Structure 1
Amino acid sequence: MGARNLMSHAITVDDLPPSTAEFVRGEGRARGLADVLADVTHGLRTDEETMNRESRGGPTSDRYVVEMLLTPELLIVAHRQSDDAETDPGARVRFHPLDQLEVTLPTAGPRLAMPARSIPVTSTPLGGARRATYQLPIAIDADVDRFREALLQAAQAARA
């Protein structure tokens, strides 16, 4: 069994590595969108590191980066395994239209012995074939609370 370390903090478009920003813009263009980063109002980055114990060769570590960027019309979620989308062939980005996005809030009760470590969103991303729930990883932080509140307000405004 391994350990999991999450760190989240607010970001702006200027905080994205240049190759990641271009990757996100390119994926947006491929879906017929104008510059998807032009209208970002809020951003959140989560760095996740998992330590795995190996029987031979010692422990290993995996690092994942998730950036969530909010515009008045979209939630943009970029995933990659390194700081540079150019060096991660598995990097991906999803564009979730806010007018059909559902955000699940944690509920009080005995099941929540520990604080929530994700923001569950249900959506059919642009170019996606079906509606699904995505668990966006987060740490417990004031920046996360501000982002979640902005996301809820933006989704509500888009549906109105």
Structure 2
Amino acid sequence: MTFFIQKATIDDTEDVALMVGELLAEIMSAINVQAFHFDRGETTVRLRDFLEQGKYFVFVARDGNGKAVGFIALYESHALYAEGAFGTIAELYVRPEYRSHQLGLQLVSQAKSLGASRNWTRLEVTTPPLPQFDKTLSFYEREGFSISGGRKLKISL
């Protein structure tokens, strides 16, 4: 299977928003908890705003027919512990029928290239510490990520 990956533009926001909904539905189904609120229209507008302001970096994968089949989204942060600027993978999703074709690897490779071009010291990603996500953890470990400890916590504001 042949894929092409390119930096997302405003024209890609609806396709990416749809896949965000698929990703969140898949996570909630795996954990059997309504952990996220998703509104496709709001997500499309939010993504458009993030892209226009340069706050978010998104790469979209398309198949040979131009159908969006996956994406990776990142943002830049700064921290003393990270020794400067670094990137965080906020979302990575490949539609189920396109998995096992090295597409996740290609998307992560794009993220690594972006990070190198921006002089990031590291690239981080969080996976839930649940057995349902062991395959996800294994994928990232195969791609060179290592567990750095801790758990991701949140509080709504």
Question: TM-score with structure 2 length normalisation?
Answer: 0.35
- Greater relative contact order (CA < 8 Å, ≥ 6 in sequence): 1
Q: Which has the larger radius of gyration?
A: 1
Structure with greater helix percent: 2
Question: TM-score with structure 1 length normalisation?
Answer: 0.34
Structure with greater strand percent: 1
